[in-house]
């Protein structure tokens, strides 16, 4: 999600999901148009050579399609006896950002995974979601509509947007001889202006190479999670034993992106439409012979349980999924400070559900709250 405000701050609750520009009184930007596209593509690789592919996409608005829109694709491989030995899947969703009457609105949600216990099969899975949202910030008193921003004697005003991120990544190898150079996860998030192609926000996270060490560009925050922590969050003894064996014989890496908030600023012009483009992408790839990758962005893991049980026989997928989601959620770090951000908005609104003005990107495990300055949805 992205939230807007001027440099004088209105009291607003933590995780308030709305489009808002703060001034001396209630002030908002109006959403006038929304377009979105989601897509996923699953590519099978046989000894590194492209084989079967399965892809899907969805767009809004198109042909009267209602929100949410989603794209989903899966490929599987079995041995001669019909036993599942490799699998890959991708899921990408864009939901109605104005329907925020649930704990996690999940405006964008991307989840991908692949594993192979076969000697020659691997996968490359790519998920993407994009939204173009057009807004207008009206000059106070310039229309019959409720007052918007007080631009004063100027035609421009500097506003601040907020971005929320969260997610997680799991990579493993059960084979000490596997080529981990091919095992990777790449996550990228960008926000740009359409009128001048200015890049307003960009961050990436990559986990790759034989050492599986994560690296990042931009302000994204991440943390490694070890098995002792997951055990404290509910791993059963049998699951723990399997994962310990994986870690000892091969490799295991768990990375979480704690719920976090990023701010950035730019200039808007009174009564002129402005289109902002949000782009998210998650790409994973594994290698043959006992490796797997799973990544999620914008929601807790929902499909990891069944997937990891197939990739790592003997584990309880439900407890792994629950433990990992809990490890992500409790690390919530709020606003990530930077030289170009203002102080966090004071947390003064009450809890509850409301259809507030959503904007562009919500990627967090958060609680929707009611803000007394939230007027109505414009979508």
- Under-50 pLDDT residues of the chain: 1-27, 100-105, 142-144, 146-147, 342-379
Closest to 110 in 3D by CA, of 33, 163, 165, 50: 165
β pairing state of 334-335 and 251-269: parallel
Query: How does pLDDT run across 121-156, given as a tens digit for each residue?
Result: 999 999 999 999 888 888 865 444 544 567 888 899
What confidence score (pLDDT) does residue 297 get?
96
Report the C-alpha dihedral over residues 46, 49, 54, 58, rounded to 10 degrees: 140
Residue found by looking up tokens 């701050």 in the block:
9
pTM score, whole prediction? 0.81
What confidence score (pLDDT) does residue 107 get?
80
Whether the CB-CB separation of 332 and 300 falls below 8 Å is answered with: no
Neighbours of 365 (CB within 10 A): 23
Residue 172's φ and ψ, nearest 5 degrees, are: -150, 160
Could you tell me which residues come within 8 angstroms of residue 65 by beta carbon, excluding any fewer than 6 positions away? Answer: 58, 59
d(CA 95, CA 370): 20
d(CA 305, CA 374): 38
d(CA 265, CA 298): 23
Whether the CB-CB separation of 229 and 240 falls below 8 Å is answered with: no
Tokens of 356: 């507030």
d(CA 257, CA 260): 8
Residue 303's φ and ψ, nearest 5 degrees, are: -110, 5
d(CA 135, CA 35): 12
Residue 201's φ and ψ, nearest 5 degrees, are: -150, 135
Q: Which residues of 272-300 are buried (b: 16+ CB within 10 A; e: fewer)?
A: eebebbbbbbbbbbbbbbbbbbbbbbbbb
d(CA 250, CA 363): 32
d(CA 124, CA 287): 9
Bridge-partner residues for 263, per DSSP?
162
What confidence score (pLDDT) does residue 202 get?
95
């Amino acid at each position: 999600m992205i939230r807007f405000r001027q440099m004088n701050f209105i009291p607003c609750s933590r995780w308030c999901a709305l489009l808002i520009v703060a001034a001396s009184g209630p002030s908002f930007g109006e959403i006038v148009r929304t377009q979105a596209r989601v897509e996923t593509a699953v590519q099978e690789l046989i000894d590194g050579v492209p084989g079967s592919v399965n892809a899907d996409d969805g767009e809004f608005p198109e042909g009267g399609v209602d929100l949410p829109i989603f794209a989903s694709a899966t490929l599987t491989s079995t041995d001669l006896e019909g036993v599942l030995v490799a699998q890959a899947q991708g899921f990408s969703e864009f939901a109605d950002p104005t329907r925020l009457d649930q704990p996690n609105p999940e405006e964008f949600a991307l989840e991908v995974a692949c594993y192979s216990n076969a000697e020659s099969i691997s996968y490359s899975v790519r998920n993407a979601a994009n939204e173009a949202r057009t807004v207008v910030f009206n000059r106070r008193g310039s229309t019959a509509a409720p007052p918007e921003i007080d631009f004063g004697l100027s035609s421009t005003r500097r506003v601040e947007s907020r971005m929320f991120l969260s997610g997680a990544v799991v990579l493993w190898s059960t084979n000490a001889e596997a080529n981990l150079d091919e095992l990777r996860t790449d996550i990228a998030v960008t926000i740009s202006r359409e009128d001048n192609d200015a890049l307003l926000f960009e961050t990436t996270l990559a986990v790759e190479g034989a050492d599986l060490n994560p690296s990042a560009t931009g302000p994204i925050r991440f943390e490694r999670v070890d098995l002792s922590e997951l055990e404290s969050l509910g791993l059963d003894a049998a699951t723990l034993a399997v994962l310990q064996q994986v870690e000892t014989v091969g490799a295991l890496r768990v990375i979480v992106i704690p719920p976090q908030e990023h701010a950035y600023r730019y200039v808007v012009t009174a009564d002129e439409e402005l289109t902002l483009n949000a782009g998210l992408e998650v790409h994973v790839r594994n290698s043959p012979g006992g490796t797997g990758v799973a990544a999620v962005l914008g929601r807790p893991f929902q499909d990891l349980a069944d997937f990891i049980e197939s990739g790592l026989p003997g584990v309880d997928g439900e407890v792994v999924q629950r433990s990992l989601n809990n490890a992500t959620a409790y690390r919530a770090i709020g606003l990530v400070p930077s030289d170009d951000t203002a102080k966090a908005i004071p947390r003064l609104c009450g809890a509850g559900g409301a259809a507030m003005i959503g904007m562009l990107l919500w990627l967090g495990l958060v609680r929707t709250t009611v803000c007394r300055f939230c007027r109505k949805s414009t979508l």
